[in-house]
């Protein structure tokens, strides 16, 4: 059966990807007043319905639904989620961001690469599976809000489960089997306000923050010396934002620093918080006037899939067969929705077409790789869902 699969033609890819790029779906949480995912969700839903899938729109935020489409299996096989986000970042700096321009193998436009190319691959693959038939269900989740708070995929894992998932963020047809996580922390140092001429009364919260920053640097060096993760290397930490003081002639009573920590598998919110707390405690032991409050206020876990998972080997086999050489397995640096799916107990890999320019003024996707990716996803879905 697999031999009868058909690779989407250049025209089919161009038609679909151009339509997707033409629909402004800038995330309104990133750019206030932006279009959001309503129109693109309706387009994706209609397209999938015409391809024969069972489709529903699921409201996540006002006017910003997820699309959930199901290729119903004939029964008995494992189920697979194909996940792509419908939102994009803003289009500042691009001349005509929603006008697709084709040059050779490249289709230019906002969101073409991140990740309407991956979304098109998923849609074409679902249509391929629909035509060929499958034992297990293939579930398309076209999700909103990945570029901000991942509300879309969060809603998916709250209501749907499956035996595996593929997130089609652009990987250039490589298999991404791990990515870093991140934590945002804030440290607030407390001093004592006093007239600048009375040093015996004042405690300088800004210079106390200087000691914290010294610890951040030292921790960064310690992290880079730790045993590196096989695909991701070491975790890291840096200061991002700092604020303190009210005027020149006063001792500042307060200074706040926001710190970002990039994490690798094995590191947890608790371990990340603890390694910072130990350092603040040691500053306090050395100087009783030192006082600081630590808060880990956002945690996005790192992602890693066991290379022995069935979905990894089935995808690897389909890729080598259709690309003609083994797909590179690698770890990526940015956080993705894969972490949410994986931590919900769904073995997940990231695999999508190539191009360049994510979040940049000039962005393009490879038309050929969208077609190839769709075919690889179709074959992977059919083999995986056959059980
Ligand atoms: Zn993306």
d(CA 89, ligand 1 centre) in Å: 9
Structure confidence by residue, pLDDT tens digits, 249-298: 999 999 999 999 999 999 999 999 999 999 999 999 999 999 999 999 99
Domains contained in the chain, CATH given: 2-179+304-385 (3.40.630.10), 181-300 (3.30.70.360)
For the stretch 85-98, what's the b/e string if a residue is b when 16 or more beta carbons lie within 10 angstroms of its beta carbon?
A: bbbbbebeebeebb
Q: What is the pLDDT of residues 190-230, one digit of tens each?
A: 999 999 999 999 999 999 999 999 999 999 999 999 999 99
The structure tokens 């310690």 sit at: 222
Per-residue model confidence (pLDDT) at position 6: 79
Number of DSSP helices (H) and strands (E) in the chain, helices first: 9, 19
- Non-local (6+) Cβ contacts of 247 within 8 A are none
Ligand 1 center from residue 252 Cα (angstroms): 42
Tell me the mean pLDDT per 10 residues along the chain, length 387: 72 98 97 97 98 98 98 95 97 88 97 97 98 96 96 98 98 98 98 97 98 98 97 97 97 98 98 98 98 97 97 98 96 96 97 94 96 98 94
Give Cβ neighbours of residue 182 (< 8 Å, ≥ 6 apart).
260, 261, 262, 263, 298, 300, 335
Query: Is 350 strand, coil or helix?
Result: strand
Ligand 1: centre distance to CA 153 (Å)? 12
Distance (Å, rounded) from C-alpha 364 to C-alpha 110?
A: 8
At a CB cut-off of 8 Å and minimum separation 6, what does 94 contact? Answer: 110, 361, 362, 363
Q: What are the tokens at 217?
A: 């640097």
Measured in Å, residue 338 CA sits from the centre of ligand 1 at 11
pTM metric for this prediction: 0.93
Q: What is the pLDDT of residue 4?
A: 56
Phi-psi region of 355 (alpha: psi -120 to 50; beta: other; left: phi over 0): left
For residue 114, report the distance from its CA to the centre of ligand 1, in Å.
5
Give 287-323 pLDDT, tens digit per residue. 999 999 999 999 999 999 999 999 999 999 999 999 9
CA nearest 160: which of 227, 93, 108, 82?
Answer: 82
pLDDT given at position 2: 45
- Compute, in angstroms, the gap from residue 313 CA to the centroid of ligand 1: 24
Q: How far is CA 357 from the centre of its chain?
A: 16
Return the pLDDT at 92: 82
Q: Cα of 314 to ligand 1 centre, how many Å?
A: 24
d(CA 146, ligand 1 centre) in Å? 7
Q: How far is 364 from 105, CA to CA, in rounded Å?
A: 9
Compute, in angstroms, the gap from residue 126 CA to the centroid of ligand 1.
20
CA 45 and chain centroid, separation: 22
Return the ∠ at Cα 227 (arms to 221 and 231), rounded to 5°. Answer: 105
Q: Are 187 and 104 in contact (CB under 8 A)?
A: no
CA angle at residue 150 from 147 to 154, to 5 degrees?
165
Tokens matching residue 99: 């006008």
120 C-alpha to ligand 1 centroid (Å): 13
Look over the chain and give the mean of its residue pLDDT values, rounded to a whole number: 96
């Amino acid at each position: 059966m697999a031999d009868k699969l058909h690779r989407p033609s250049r025209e089919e890819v161009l038609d679909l990807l151009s339509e997707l790029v033409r629909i402004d779906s800038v995330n309104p949480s990133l750019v206030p007043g932006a279009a959001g995912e309503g129109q693109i969700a309706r387009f994706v839903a209609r397209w999938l319905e015409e391809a024969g899938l069972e489709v529903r729109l699921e409201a996540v935020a006002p006017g910003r639904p997820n699309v959930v489409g199901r290729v119903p299996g004939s029964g008995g096989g494992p189920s697979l989620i194909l996940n792509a986000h419908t939102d994009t970042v803003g289009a500042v700096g691009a001349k005509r961001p929603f006008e697709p321009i084709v040059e050779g193998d490249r289709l230019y436009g906002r969101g073409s690469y991140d990740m309407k190319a991956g979304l098109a691959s998923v849609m074409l693959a679902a249509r391929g599976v629909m035509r060929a038939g499958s034992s297990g269900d293939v579930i398309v989740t076209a999700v909103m809000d990945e570029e901000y708070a991942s509300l879309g995929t969060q809603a998916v894992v709250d209501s749907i489960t499956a035996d595996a998932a593929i997130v089609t963020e652009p990987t250039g047809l490589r298999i991404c089997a791990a990515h870093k996580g991140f934590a945002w922390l804030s440290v607030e140092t407390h001093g004592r306000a006093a007239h600048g001429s009375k040093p015996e009364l004042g405690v300088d919260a800004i210079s106390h923050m200087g000691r914290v920053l010294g610890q951040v640097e030292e921790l960064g060096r310690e992290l880079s010396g730790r045993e590196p993760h096989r695909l991701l290397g070491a975790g890291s930490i840096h200061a991002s934002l700092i604020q303190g003081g009210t005027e020149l002639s006063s001792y500042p009573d307060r200074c706040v620093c926001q710190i970002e920590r990039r994490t690798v598998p094995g590191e947890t919110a608790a371990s990340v918080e603890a390694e910072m707390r130990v350092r603040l405690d040691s500053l306090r032991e050395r100087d009783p006037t030192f006082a600081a409050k630590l808060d880990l206020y956002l945690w996005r876990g790192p992602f890693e899939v066991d290379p022995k998972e069935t979905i990894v080997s089935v995808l690897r086999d389909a890729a080598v067969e259709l690309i003609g050489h083994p797909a590179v397995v690698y770890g990526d640096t940015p956080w993705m929705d894969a972490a949410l799916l994986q931590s919900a107990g769904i073995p997940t890999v990231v695999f999508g077409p190539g191009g360049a320019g994510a979040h940049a003024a000039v962005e393009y996707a490879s038309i050929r790789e969208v077609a190839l990716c769709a075919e690889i996803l179709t074959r992977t879905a059919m083999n995986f869902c056959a059980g």
